[in-house]
C-alpha cells in the first residue's frame, strides 16, 4: 500500500515540474521511442521487450494521476502532458502493429476508429477549453482505455505469445486472436464514448455558431 501521509503540495514551480507524478509522465513519453526500437530487434526478443515497456508505461498511466491527486501535486504541465503521453503510446503502438501486419485486413478498421476518435475528441476538448468548459471523463471511457491497453498488450505479444502457448494448445494464434477480439470490442466502446463526448459538447458547439 502506498504511504501518502506527510506529503504536502510542492510550492516551487521547478519542484512541481519534477514531482514524481510528472516524472512518471515523462517516462511514458520516453517509452514511446524505446517501444519503436524494440520492433526492430530480430526475433521474438524484441516483442517481449516491447511488451515489458508497454506494460510499464501503462502502469504509470494509472500511477501518475493517482499520486498527483493523493499527494496534491497536480499541475498544469501534468494535465497537459498526461493525455499527450497516452495518445502517443496508443497511436505509436497501433501504427507499429499495422506496419508489422499483426493488425491487418478488416481489423484495420478497428484501429482507424480508435485513432480517429482520439483526434476528434482532442479537438473537441481544445475547443471547449477555450470556452472554459470541461467535459469530465466517464467511467465507461476509463474502462475503454483499460480494455484498449489490454488489447494492445496482447497484440504486441502477438506471434511471440502464439509461439509460446502452442506447446499447450494447438497452433491457433490464440494470443493474436484474443488481442484482435479485444481491439474490436474497445473500438465499439470507443465509438459510443466518442458520441457521448460530442453529445455533451454539442450544446456549446451550437451556442458558438
The secondary structure of residue 110, as a DSSP letter, is H
- Give the pLDDT of residue 123: 77
74 and 119 assigned to the same domain: no
- The whole-model pTM stands at 0.81
CA dist 141 and 147 (Å) reads 10
CA dist 33 and 168 (Å) reads 34
Which residues of the chain fall short of a pLDDT of 50?
A: 1-4, 7-10
Identify whether 2 is part of a domain.
no
109 and 200 assigned to the same domain: yes
Question: Percent of the chain having pLDDT more than 70?
Answer: 69
> What's the start-to-end Cα distance of the chain, in Å?
50
Per the CB < 8 A criterion, the answer to whether 32 and 89 are in contact is yes
Q: Which domain holds residue 179?
A: 101-209
Give the chain's domain count: 2
- Give the pLDDT of residue 192: 87
What are residue 5's phi and psi, to 5 degrees?
-70, 145
CA dist 155 and 51 (Å) reads 9
Q: Domain end: 62, 89, 116, which one?
A: 89
159 and 79 assigned to the same domain: no
78 and 116 assigned to the same domain: no
198 and 124 assigned to the same domain: yes
Amino acid at each position: 500500500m502506498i504511504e501518502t501521509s506527510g506529503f504536502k503540495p510542492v510550492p516551487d514551480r521547478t519542484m512541481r515540474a519534477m514531482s514524481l507524478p510528472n516524472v512518471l509522465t515523462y517516462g511514458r513519453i520516453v517509452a514511446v521511442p524505446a517501444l519503436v526500437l524494440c520492433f526492430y530487434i530480430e526475433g521474438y526478443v524484441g516483442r517481449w521487450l516491447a511488451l515489458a515497456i508497454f506494460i510499464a508505461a501503462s502502469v504509470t498511466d494509472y500511477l501518475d494521476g493517482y499520486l498527483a491527486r493523493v499527494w496534491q501535486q497536480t499541475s498544469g504541465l501534468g494535465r497537459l502532458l498526461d493525455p499527450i503521453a497516452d495518445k502517443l503510446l496508443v497511436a505509436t503502438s497501433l501504427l507499429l502493429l499495422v506496419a508489422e501486419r499483426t493488425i491487418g485486413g478488416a481489423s484495420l478498421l478497428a484501429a482507424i476508429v480508435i485513432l480517429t476518435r482520439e483526434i476528434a475528441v482532442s479537438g473537441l476538448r481544445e475547443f471547449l477549453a477555450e470556452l472554459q468548459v470541461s467535459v469530465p471523463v466517464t467511467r465507461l471511457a476509463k474502462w475503454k482505455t483499460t480494455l484498449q491497453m489490454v488489447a494492445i498488450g496482447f497484440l504486441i505479444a502477438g506471434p511471440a505469445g502464439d509461439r509460446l502457448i502452442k506447446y499447450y494448445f494447438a497452433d491457433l494464434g490464440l494470443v493474436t486472436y484474443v488481442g484482435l477480439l479485444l481491439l474490436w470490442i474497445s473500438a465499439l466502446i470507443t465509438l459510443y464514448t466518442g458520441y457521448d463526448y460530442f453529445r455533451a459538447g454539442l450544446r456549446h458547439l451550437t451556442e458558438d455558431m
